[in-house]
Amino acid sequence: MKKIITLAALFFSFVSFAQVKVLETVPVEKLGKVNNNYIQKIGDEYTVYYTIVQSDDDSTLRKFSFKNIDNAYNSLYSIIMGGFTATPLYDIKLELPNNYIWLHYTGNVVPDKATVQFMVSGKERDAATNNVSEPFVKDQINKLFQK
């Protein structure tokens, strides 16, 4: 009996101090996609991946992220869509935790042909570098945000 208790205690000590731990995983959701541009959700953080129009290297996909605090995802969508109906079209500057984003609108002469581009610059590291996304029309923004 002593051997069984000793063996059980030894077994439980190995189990409780194991090197391998199972961690809780958060599912990754890929939301809307337009061409190579897409939005990914991990927990309460959204990441927008966008293709830049001018690139000197092979990696033309860039990203910016934000947490969905105070319904920020839907607020961003509303701000972008509101810019399409503004007269005249004007750029909107947004501040995210790590980036500044300008929403650059063009083409208000022909209805439903207005476009928006994300102009992203980093707050700290790449502050002098601006990345400009390809232009999106209103329907593409709806598809990207799954609306």
Cβ contact 142:61 at 8 Å = no
Please tell me the distance from the alpha carbon of residue 18 to that of residue 11, in angstroms, as a whole number.
11
Q: Give 143's pLDDT tier (boundaries 50, 70, 90).
A: very high
pLDDT in tens, 18-63: 567 777 887 888 888 888 899 999 988 999 999 888 755 556 888 8
The reported pLDDT for the residue numbered 86 is 77
- pLDDT of 1 reads 73
Q: What is the mean pLDDT of residues 140-147?
A: 89
3-12, 26-35, 59-68, range with the lowest pLDDT: 3-12
Total-model pTM: 0.73
